[in-house]
Amino acid sequence: MGCGTGRVTSHLRDAGADVFGVDPSPGMIAVARDTHPGLRFEVGSMTGLDLPDASLGGVLSWYSTVHMPEDELASSFAEFHRVLAPGGYALVAFEVGDERVRLERAYGHEVALDVYRWSPDRLAALLGTAGLVESARLVREPDAGEKTPQAFLLARRPHV
């Protein structure tokens, strides 16, 4: 969810997963479709997915929540719970912190973009409120070019 140009979606397909990508940006979806023909990409929002209840075995949100304030995160995680089958997993990657950073230049372009950094405990609590149970957590120090630690939370929709 929030697949951008489809790089990670393509990687997962190449690893054998049955995948598709969703992103709110028609421009990103156009690039994804051009770059990765044969893969399914759709314009859509993580807060209102056009998918049946309990229809997915997994959801990947690879840094796609970094532009969402807390109320949108809560809505997205509730939507993840809705579309995940019982026993399905959600993996969320994000920047660690407790602030909103306003970017005016990024990726070689002028932008007006907010980036939200979260504590792993806060994001785990939001996942829990949505009914997803934390299964694993990894926090690593920043690599070259990164300004903050990075976190990865794996949460599961419990079996009924």
Q: What is the pLDDT of residues 36-79, one digit of tens each?
A: 999 999 999 999 999 999 999 999 999 998 889 999 999 999 99
- HSE (CB half, 13 Å, CA atoms) of 136? 7
**For residues 32 and 112, which has the higher predicted lDDT (pLDDT)?**
32
- Residue 118: pLDDT above 90? yes
Question: Taking phi first (over 0 means left), then psi (-120 to 50 degrees means alpha), and beta for anything else, what does residue 129 get?
Answer: alpha
Collapsed DSSP state (helix, strand, coil) of residue 24: coil
Tokens of 159: 């079996």
Q: Report the distance separating Cα 156 and Cα 134, nearest Å.
A: 6
108 φ, ψ (degrees, to nearest 5)? 80, 10
- Residue 112: pLDDT above 90? no
Sign of CA dihedral 77, 80, 85, 88: negative
Average pLDDT, the chain: 94
Q: What is the pLDDT of residue 103?
A: 75
Collapsed DSSP state (helix, strand, coil) of residue 59: strand
Collapsed DSSP state (helix, strand, coil) of residue 43: strand
Q: 82 falls in which pLDDT band (50, 70, 90)? A: very high
- Match 């419990």 to its residue by tokens: 158
Q: What is the pLDDT of residue 115?
A: 85
Q: 150 falls in which pLDDT band (50, 70, 90)? A: very high
- Residue 160: pLDDT above 80? no
Tokens of 53: 């209840």
Q: What is the pLDDT of residue 143?
A: 95
Q: 113 falls in which pLDDT band (50, 70, 90)? A: confident
Q: What is the pLDDT of residue 104?
A: 78
Q: 120 falls in which pLDDT band (50, 70, 90)? A: very high
Q: What is the pLDDT of residue 108?
A: 77
Residues of 35-71 as b/e, b for ≥16 C-beta within 10 angstroms? ebeebebeebbbbebebeebebebbbbbebbbebeee
This prediction's pTM: 0.92
- Match 């120090």 to its residue by tokens: 141
Q: Report the distance separating Cα 156 and Cα 56, nearest Å.
A: 12
